[in-house]
Structure 1
Amino acid sequence: MHRRSVCTMMLGALALTGCTSGSTPTVPEMDAPSRAHALWQNRTPYVGDNSEVAALTANAGFGGMGTHTIALYTTSRPYVATVAYDSLSKPFDTVDFTTPVTLLLGTVANLDRVEVRSGTDTFSLTSEEASAKLGFDVKDLGRDEAKLTAYLQSVDD
């Protein structure tokens, strides 16, 4: 039984290892309402929905920062998405990942934490931490398109 659950966990973690991004158009070219609509169209209740999560990472802004892979940990809570960069367009410590991570946490209903990694550098944010920074439940971004648009307009200013 233990062997089976370890195998299942490994499959969940490796499910998206082959998905890469880097050729996605950069998100800043989209205005806030268009970007909000793209995120809204791909929002999902489940972190295990590979194609939707991959689309959300691109629309959240991860694709424009460099080539990356996505790993989803879905076998038990906390459910985690890890975005691992092979290379970044600028030094890790100069990139603010807060907005794309917040967007991903908000548009994947059961996602508990997002980790961004490049080499030995890591940035991590939980739903609770994002909610505290926003002053409202981060999951509202996936429940209210107007709130999602307003958030994007506030960070684009």
Structure 2
Amino acid sequence: MVRNVVGSLVLAAVALSGCTSSPGDAQGTEASATVGSDAQAQALWAHRTAYVGDNSKVISLVDHAGFGATGSYALSLWTTSKPYAVTITVTDPAKPFETIDFSAPATLLLGTVTNLDAVHVTSGGKTYSLTAGQASATLGHDVKTLGTDRAALDRYLRSLAD
């Protein structure tokens, strides 16, 4: 079992460094928030994928979901057996880990990767985790609709800007 997990990690690990800003970040007026969320929605919609193992799309989704604003990070993709997961290890946090709200980017990632079951974010011995079931309960509907219904994705992003 440990050998399989280690093998999965080694085969599916993708390292990123220097990711310090999110393409979807929008600051300022309501109009700029709308433009930012529209661009973010377009990028998320364009890169959504059925499989955690589609590493190039998952890398893009992680950044566009908003994890880039947390600081530099590395990714591990758990793709060989359920539960399929993404672990984001923040290597150089932009601010203290406990002050960052990971719920929105984790929800976006869970919604735009069809077979993704869980998102884990770690840094300095601290961990944040969100499962698809937890995200669905918070949303009041299946989180996966964010990746199948563009209007639902747009509404969710607008709710974050409010």
User: 2:108 is matched with which residue?
Assistant: 103
Q: 2:16 aligns with which of 19, 27, 31?
A: 19
**Which aligned pairs between 1:38-53 and structure 2 lie closer than 5 A?**
38-53=43-58
Instruction: After TM superposition, give the deviation of residue 17 of structure 1 in Å.
Output: 3.5
**Which aligned pairs between 1:5-154 and structure 2 lie closer than 5 A?**
6=3, 9-14=5-10, 15-29=12-26, 31-154=36-159
Equivalent position amino acid for 1:18 in 2: A
TM-score by length of 1: 0.90
CA RMSD of aligned residues (A): 1.8
**Preserved contact between residue 16 and residue 72 of structure 2 (Cα < 8 Å):** no
What percentage of residue pairs aligned between the two structures are identical? 45
Q: List runs of 5+ in structure 2 lacking aligned partners.
A: 27-34
Go from structure 1 to structure 2 and tell me whether the alpha carbon gap of 1:45 and 1:71 turns closer, same or farther (over 3 Å shift): same
Q: List runs of 5+ in structure 1 lacking aligned partners.
A: none
TM-score by length of 2: 0.88
Go from structure 1 to structure 2 and tell me whether the alpha carbon gap of 1:25 and 1:141 turns closer, same or farther (over 3 Å shift): closer
Instruction: After TM superposition, give the deviation of residue 89 of structure 1 in Å.
Output: 0.9
Aligned-partner SS, 1:33: helix
Equivalent position amino acid for 1:120 in 2: G
Distance across 2 between alignment mates of 1:106 and 1:83: 16
**Preserved contact between residue 81 and residue 113 of structure 1 (Cα < 8 Å):** yes
Aligned-partner SS, 1:20: coil
Distance across 1 between alignment mates of 2:40 and 2:71: 19
How many residues are treated as equivalent by the alignment? 153
